[in-house]
Each structure stands twice: as C-alpha cells, then as structure tokens.
Chains A and B, each alone.
Chain A
Amino acid sequence: MSPRLRVNPITCEAHGLCAELLPELIRLDDWGYPILDESEVPPDLLGLARRAVDACPTLALLLEEDR
C-alpha cells in the first residue's frame, strides 16, 4: 500500500505550509485548514510529502508509510 497522508485535526492550526509545499495533494478550505482530496501519496511526490510533513509547525501532518 502506498504511504498515506493524514492530518491530526486537533493539533492543526491552519498555518497552511502543507498546501504551499504540496498543492498537488493538499488544498485549503475557506478557513485555511487543509483538505486532502487524495490521501495516498504517489511515489513521485513522496519527497515533497516528507518535506511538507517536516515543515508543519504543529506536527499535525502525518505520513503513514506502512500499515
């Protein structure tokens, strides 16, 4: 199974960096909170996805690699 992105909605504070770094998979709602239309991360976006995860100031973006 390909890795999946997940947002912890309790810790997310709508900084929006994830959507800046990974607009292919993440867009923001009207209040600035991330929407993941497709949580599976294709191989070519894995590097960018890891960067977005690392950049999240509240560690709310998670990449679940093997489940």
Chain B
Amino acid sequence: MSFSAEGHHGLPRLLAGLEPDGSAISLAAHTRVHGPLPQVASHQLIEEVERSGLRGRGGADFPTARKLRAVAGRRRVAAVIVNGSETEPASAKDRLLLSRLPHLVLDGAVLAAGAVGARQVIVKVGEDAVGAITALQGAVSARDEAVSIDVVTAPGGYVAGEESAVVHYLNGGPELPTFVPPRPFERGYRGRPTLIQNPETLAQLALVARFGSRWYRELGTVADPGSALVTITGAVMAPGVYELAFGTAMSDLLAAAGGPSEPLQALLVGGYFGTWMEASRATSLRLAREDLRSVGCTLGSGVLIALGESSCGLHESARVIAYLAAQSAGQCGPCVYGLRAIADAVGALADGVAHPRERDRVLRWTSEVRGRGACHHPDGAVRFVESALEVFEDDIDAHRHGRCQAMPAGLPLAGAAVAGGRLR
C-alpha cells in the first residue's frame, strides 16, 4: 500500500489540530491539518493497521486489527460504535478528542465502518460531556457520509463504559453489563456484528490510514509503536491531557505536565483499575507495556496520577475503593458484597481501627472476587486494592499507632475532574 500523503514528523500527531481558543476544529481546518479522508480498500486498511501495531486505547489494550478482522469476517452487515463513555473519573482524553477534534475521531469511525462493512456509526457519550456532544453534532452535520452517524448520550456511571453495557443500552436496555458470550463482534448493536472502539483508537486509525504504518512507527518502541494520549493529574504543576510517544521516560511524562508540585511518594498508573507504584521505581521506567508490566502495571485508559509526600496513599485508596464499590452495577453477588466488604476493611485499615490481620483477610477476598463478575469491574477494583496494600503497607501499621498527619489529596472521584484538559 502506498501513501500519497506525507505525515509530518514528531509530535503532536493527534493533537495537531487543536485550536488555541479551545473551540472545536472545523472540517476545513481539519482537512488542512491532516489532508482529506483517504480511499482505502477494506483488507488494505486492516493489513496496514495490523502492521502499525495499533492497540485499543480504552484500557483493554486489544490489537485493533484483530478486532476489525473479527467483525469484518462475519456475514451480516456490521455496526460501529464509538465508545466515548469515558467513565474513568480521572481521564479526560476522550472528551478532549470529541469536543475539540471530532473530525479525526469520525474519520476513524467512517474508515473502520468501511473496513468491517458497516453502514451505521453510533457515537456514545456521557450526557454530562456537553462540549463533546455539541462538537460532535456540529461535525456530523458538516460531513457528507455514505454511512449514517448518530450521537447517543447516556447517564453513565463507572461501569457504563464497559462494552457489553454500551451495547445493552443502545439496544434499549439499562446501561449495565451483560453476561457474555455473545460478544459484541458476534451479536451486538441490534444483533449485528459490532465493532466497539475507543475514540483515541479511531483517531490513531485515521492517521494510520492516511500516512501508513511506517510513519506510525516513527515514534514509540517496537512493541509499543506510536503516540498515546495520557491524562496526567494529581501532584503536578499543570494537570492535563498530553500526547507523548511510547517509550518516553516516566520522568519526562511528569515534566510534560509541568513537573511534580512537591516530592512524590507514589504514582497511580492506569486510573482506578490501575496500580500504585512507588515513585522511586518510576524513574527507571518508560511509557511502554513491557516496562509497566515489570512492576505489575498497565497503562489502562492512559491515566497517570501523582501522589505527593504530603498525602496519605492509604486514605486516598480507601476513598477510591469505597467509590468503586458504590459504582458496582449491583448485578453480581461477588462484586456487590465482595467490594463492599473490601472497601469497609480498607477504610478500617486507613482509620487505624482494624485488626492487625485484616490486611490478610482483604487479600483473600481480593483473590476470591477476581474474575467472578459478568464484567471486569471487580477485577479492576481488586487489582487497585492489592497494589495499594502493597505500596502503602508500612502506612497500615503507622495508622494503627495514629501517626498519619497527611492532608487529603482529593483524588478525583466523579467525572470531569480534570478541568477541560489543560494543554501545553
């Protein structure tokens, strides 16, 4: 496959079209920045995406080409869902893309629809993402597409962004996960084979379709090519959404957000389904799956939260797990009762009123709860708790003796916490 367009080198890529005044980019300006939507044959696009090594940016890290191929291989006419739910409280990247760069996401959705044989694109966003809804509606009406594009809003909640919950809701059901299989690629929206992708994944796909996999791989590492949007927040000078190349050192990630606002004790990588890491271990790591895996982390939906020395990781973690327990869809016993018990116990550990062996009991519960929900909500929640109990283990004893004098760090617990995604 040859590419007539020449991609520009270096960063920014996705964020190249950001208007300085904060408005949504027009179709004309978008075309000036990235060039027109390319005409690509279905199999060529899928092969090029495969060569690029692009993986889903919604948290599951799944190879995008495999997902495209699974849907394209079904006989029935497919559907494409852009999953812009972004229910991770600390994440702001999808709202940034949808509200400021909607055409790049829609380009990716239209290209993906062509690749899998879909005539319908549904963009699902949280009803509180007003900027994204307005920008998407404007962008859709400015385009002339062979496929229909509908913007659908939903009330949301932490588990509402889960794939099966999105399909369930769009099919007229409650916004709750369902028991799988069937998976969406088998039977999804209105029974059709359905491709569900995160907005950033589709925006990246739109660039791969234009400039090719070789260009895409100019940035990043061999295993993790390209760039990523990372929401960096917590104890940094300039919290916001930043586009960085994979392979960037963690210290450079923090520097991109203005650097730490105080000495750091830990980093939460991957959001609330992610894992805590001691800040001292982070300096030797890069933004790459292999590096993160070596300390038991994944990038998840691209959230990095810095915890300063003045804060208490145990108290913050207790707040987060209480939040996650309350966000259970309430459908599966192990998630409802397990997470509630775990949250209460971690709260008691943080308050210094727990039995010394309570930590062991929590760890038994976390291992028992894992994998026993219809969706992955309990899995993510227990991963978070296990890392908290490991990284802040010394604090548990300190709290029993009443020595914690930390200030609340106030980790974001509801949507839109990073105000509009401040940018470089």
- Residues on A facing B (Cβ under 8 Å): 7-14, 29-33, 35
Nearest first, the 7 A-B pairs at minimum CB distance are A9-B332, A31-B337, A33-B333, A10-B331, A8-B179, A10-B374, A33-B334
B183 vs chain A, min Cβ distance (A): 13
Which chain A residue lies CB-closest to B336? A31
Segment with Cβ contacts to A, from B121-129, B201-209, B365-373: B365-373
Interface of A is mostly: loop
Please measure, in the bound complex, the distance between the C-alpha atom of A9 and the C-alpha atom of B372, giving whole angstroms. Answer: 7
A-B contacts, 21 of them at CB < 8 A, read A8-B374, A9-B179, A9-B331, A9-B333, A9-B334, A9-B372, A9-B373, A10-B178, A10-B331, A10-B374, A12-B332, A12-B333, A29-B334, A30-B337, A31-B334, A31-B337, A31-B341, A33-B333, A33-B334, A33-B372, A35-B372
B338 on the interface (CB 8 Å rule)?
A: yes
Report yes or no: A31 in contact with B179, Cβ–Cβ below 8 A. Answer: no
- Residues on B facing A (Cβ under 8 Å): 178-179, 331-335, 337-338, 341, 365, 368-369, 372-374
How many A-B contacts at CB < 8 Å in the complex? Answer: 41
Interface of B is mostly: helix
In the complex where A9-B179, A9-B373, A29-B338 touch, is A35 in contact with B368 (Cβ < 8 A)?
yes
Which chain A residue lies CB-closest to B176? A10
Contacts of B374 in A (CB 8 A): 8-10
Q: Given contacts A9-B333, A9-B373, A29-B338, could you give 14 more A-B pairs where the C-beta distance is less than 8 Å?
A: A8-B374, A9-B332, A9-B334, A9-B335, A9-B374, A10-B331, A12-B332, A30-B337, A31-B337, A31-B338, A33-B333, A33-B337, A33-B372, A35-B368
Which chain B residue lies CB-closest to A29? B368
Please measure, in the bound complex, the distance between the C-alpha atom of A8 and the C-alpha atom of B372, giving whole angstroms. Answer: 9
In the complex where A29-B338, A31-B338 touch, is A10 in contact with B368 (Cβ < 8 A)?
no
Which chain B residue lies CB-closest to A27? B368
Residue among A7, A13, A31 with the most chain B CB within 10 A?
A31
Please measure, in the bound complex, the distance between the C-alpha atom of A11 and the C-alpha atom of B335, giving whole angstroms. Answer: 13
Which chain A residue lies CB-closest to B337? A31
Contacts of A29 in B (CB 8 A): 334, 338, 368-369
Contacts of B179 in A (CB 8 A): 8-11
Contacts of B335 in A (CB 8 A): 9
Residue among A7, A13, A29, A32 with the most chain B CB within 10 A?
A29
Contacts of A30 in B (CB 8 A): 337, 341, 365
Which chain B residue lies CB-closest to A9? B332
Which chain B residue lies CB-closest to A62? B179
Which chain B residue lies CB-closest to A32? B333
Please measure, in the bound complex, the distance between the C-alpha atom of A30 and the C-alpha atom of B337, giving whole angstroms. Answer: 9
A56 vs chain B, min Cβ distance (A): 14
Which chain A residue lies CB-closest to B334? A33
Please measure, in the bound complex, the distance between the C-alpha atom of A13 and the C-alpha atom of B331, giving whole angstroms. Answer: 10
Please measure, in the bound complex, the distance between the C-alpha atom of A32 and the C-alpha atom of B334, giving whole angstroms. Answer: 9
Please measure, in the bound complex, the distance between the C-alpha atom of A13 and the C-alpha atom of B337, giving whole angstroms. Answer: 12
